[in-house]
Amino acid sequence: MKYTTLPNTDIRVSRICLGTMTWGRQNTESEGQAQMDYAFNQGVNFFDTAELYPVPAHKDRYAETEKIIGNWFRKSGRRQDIVLASKIAGPAPFTEFIRTEGFKPSAILEAVEGSLRRLRTDYMDLYQLHWPERSTNYFGQRGFIPDARETWKDNIHEVLRTLQTLVQEGKIRQVGLSNETPWGVMRFLEEARAHPGLPRMITIQNPYSLLNRLFEVGLSEISHRSQIGLLAYSPLGFGTLSGKYLGGQKPEKARVTLFPNYNRYSNSKAIEATEAYAEIAAMHGLSLAQMALAFVNSRPFLTSNIIGATTLDQLKENIGSADIELSPEVLSKIEEVHRTIPNPAP
């Protein structure tokens, strides 16, 4: 396993991060525990979760994933060996059963205390805002469209002050963003720079894969110049880049089979691109999944690649991507496809 550090910290994390959003819905608790056991034994020391998980979100399953992780900590005694990241859910119609206050101080404090309790820990190493409060483009919306009905007022300073209190209390160590735009990242950095003592965002958890390289357009320069590390999620595009949906296949228990509305990586251009990437992988004796993950692993702005799996065999293949170095020829072929079919998934 390869390791790096969270930007501007001494927190050492594996290049592969274990994603957890299926535990409690697609995966049972015992399956989630088996994944944590295997990942840890392979050198993965970075786990990412959220109060929202498992997804799709439902009030009857709210925060089950954090409980599964907390039970593993209690059983294994490995809390001190794991870099643990979680997130507060943002406002949305599908989170109204959680709370409706957005990122008001009381909401952040409530969310943190709830996560700590479920995770059976006194602190989280990284705490992230799962998506912005304001109306902007995320979760498959490619472009920004102003919303005349928006009521959000800039509360970035207040959010950072609340997070500062939690850092001072030792309940969180570092803070990060998720599903964020260049404007949002720079606004948070600007506020922290203007007010010494406020916590500085050090990571951004956004989608990044062969089918969605939009991070490169504006955020990669911010990542490079401002030292904001990418935690790449959906590196296989909801499993599309494993090739399991090619030819119209609908594997039993697969995410898109179970939840057809999770189709942002399934449009005709995304399928066309996936077929082209599959040809490259086959030509060079690689599995499509490992080639796709190895590409993400190779990016200079990457801090960690968040992989998820519903079976141990998938998990083994995904973690194994950490040992694969793509040749210049493979990378060149990938760029040819990208130039022809750039970012087919939003």
C-alpha–C-alpha distance, residues 287 and 280, integer Å: 10
The 3-state DSSP class for residue 237 equals: coil
Q: In this structure, are strands 12-14 and 3-5 parallel, antiparallel, or unpaired?
A: antiparallel
Beta strands in the chain (DSSP E): 3-5, 12-14, 16-19, 46-48, 83-88, 124-129, 172-178, 201-207, 229-233, 302-307
Angle made by CA atoms 178, 216, 266, in degrees to the nearest 5 = 75
Q: In this structure, are strands 201-207 and 16-19 parallel, antiparallel, or unpaired?
A: unpaired
The number of C-alpha atoms within 13 Å of 102 and in the hemisphere containing its C-beta is 13
Phi/psi for 211 (5° steps) reads -95, -10
C-alpha–C-alpha distance, residues 156 and 188, integer Å: 7
Question: Could you tell me if 2 and 44 are in contact, meaning their C-beta atoms sit under 8 angstroms apart?
Answer: no
**Paired tokens of 178:** 């998720």
Q: Is 53 a catalytic residue?
A: yes
Phi/psi for 74 (5° steps) reads -65, -40
**Based on the number of CB atoms within 10 Å of its own CB, is 259 exposed (0-12), middle (13-18) or buried (19 or more)?**
middle
C-alpha–C-alpha distance, residues 119 and 79, integer Å: 10
C-alpha–C-alpha distance, residues 125 and 119, integer Å: 12
- Please pick, among 53, 208, 233, 245, the residue that the annotation labels catalytic: 53
The 3-state DSSP class for residue 313 equals: helix
- Token pair 């274990």 in the structure block, residue: 18
C-alpha–C-alpha distance, residues 280 and 276, integer Å: 7
Q: Which is nearest to 123 in space by CA: 176, 83, 76, 181?
A: 83
- Residues serving a catalytic function are 53
